[in-house]
Amino acid sequence: MDWLVVRGSGAHIRSAPGRLIVSQGSVVTDHPLEGFRHLLLQGRHTIQTGTVDRLVREGIRVTFLEPDGEPVAVVRPFGDRDDERMRRLQETMPMHNVATTIVTFAAHARLGLLDEAKANLYEGELELVRGLLAELPNLVLLQELRRVHRMIGDMYYEIMSRTLPPGLGFKRRTHRPHHDPVNALLTLSYGYLSVAVLHACIGARLDPSVGILSAGDRGLVLDLSECFRTEMVDRPVFALLREGLDPAAFERTADRCHLADDLVRETSARLRGSIDRARIDLQVQRFVKALEREGEFAIV
């Protein structure tokens, strides 16, 4: 990748001719400046002003991110217009093939997880999903692809709910505020995945708001996350839920369901093992190559 992310906190970042040196606790890493064009700093770190100057002179931009991953500011070389170039490519490239690839892959991944979970299918449900999948090659409008994607997603969550303890109260995906622990935990977990995808999009100088299937803020992040939701989030989270939750792991109030800190920590630990940032970075790179007409978009 042509971007480098420093996460956590307390790193000391300095430079030498042709090199960036990152000291974090007892770990020191040395990165050649020719190996990346964008440095992302997530969290609270110390970087020398001379290092920022050296990076900018080398044509490397620096983006600062909050500890939770929210972007704060960017320092870019004077005259750098690559953001504008990438946005124009995103806005003008025909996205039908990319959208079809994402929708098809997400549907098959969900069917695979339903099979693994030995979900109880009602009569006609599998035939309906297969019929929707058969439609995909013939759909020419993005609105039609969105419709099929939404229908398969709604059915997936409803069927998956049958694999969970009934006491959790999960029937389908809902909007915030959530009143059951399953929806609350899924939203939290998808948020972790979205941060990883957002960082890759920022690193690649893409505009996260120019989506393929999704419109509005971070539409592209939501769309590319669909390549990974089932494997990186749903599989570990639903496995955790099927093990059963301690009654103290969540609290339902009249307004929402609150997750206990222990449950959040346990989920975070599992997701650290399942969210593959290197694969996400590679997927975003594949998307960039498709934008620049250097290859076909495919799921890694």
Q: Is 252 exposed, middle or buried, given 0-12, 13-18 or 19+ CB atoms closer than 10 A?
A: middle
CA distances from 233 to 24, 62, 129 (A): 28, 30, 22
**What are 19-67's pLDDT values in tens digits?**
999 999 999 999 999 999 999 999 999 999 999 999 999 999 999 999 9
pLDDT of 1 strictly over 90: no
Q: Indicate whether 179 pLDDT > 90.
A: yes
Q: What is the pLDDT of residue 127?
A: 92
Which residues, including other chains, have CB under 8 Å from residue 118's CB and lie 6 or more apart? 163
The SS3 assignment for 73 reads strand
Q: Mean per-residue pLDDT for 200-209?
A: 96
Q: How far, CA to CA in Å, does 209 sit from each of 93, 115, 126, 183?
A: 15, 34, 34, 24
Respond yes or no on whether the N-terminal peptide bond of residue 177 is cis (omega within 30° of 0): yes
With cut-offs at 50, 70 and 90, classify the pLDDT of residue 281: very high
> What dihedral do alpha carbons 204, 209, 214, 216 form, nearest 10°?
170
Which region among 114-128, 224-238, 260-274 has the lowest average model confidence (pLDDT)?
Answer: 114-128
The tokens for 238 are 């639903």
Separation between Cα atoms, residue 66 and residue 116, nearest integer Å = 37
CB 248 within 8 A of CB 177: no
Contacts of 12 by beta carbon, 8 Å cutoff, 6+ apart? 22, 23, 24, 45, 46
| DSSP letter, residue 166 | G
Evaluate whether 227 touches 284 at the Cβ level (below 8 Å): no
Give Cα separations from 223 to 25, 62, 197, 201 (angstroms).
36, 25, 10, 12
> Residue 216: pLDDT band by 50, 70, 90 thresholds?
confident
* Mean pLDDT for the chain overall: 95
d(CA 239, CA 229): 14
In the chain, the domains with their CATH numbers are 3-80 (3.100.10.20), 87-291 (1.20.120.920)
- Report the distance separating Cα 174 and Cα 183, nearest Å: 7
- Measured CA to CA, the distance from residue 58 to residue 47 in angstroms comes to 16
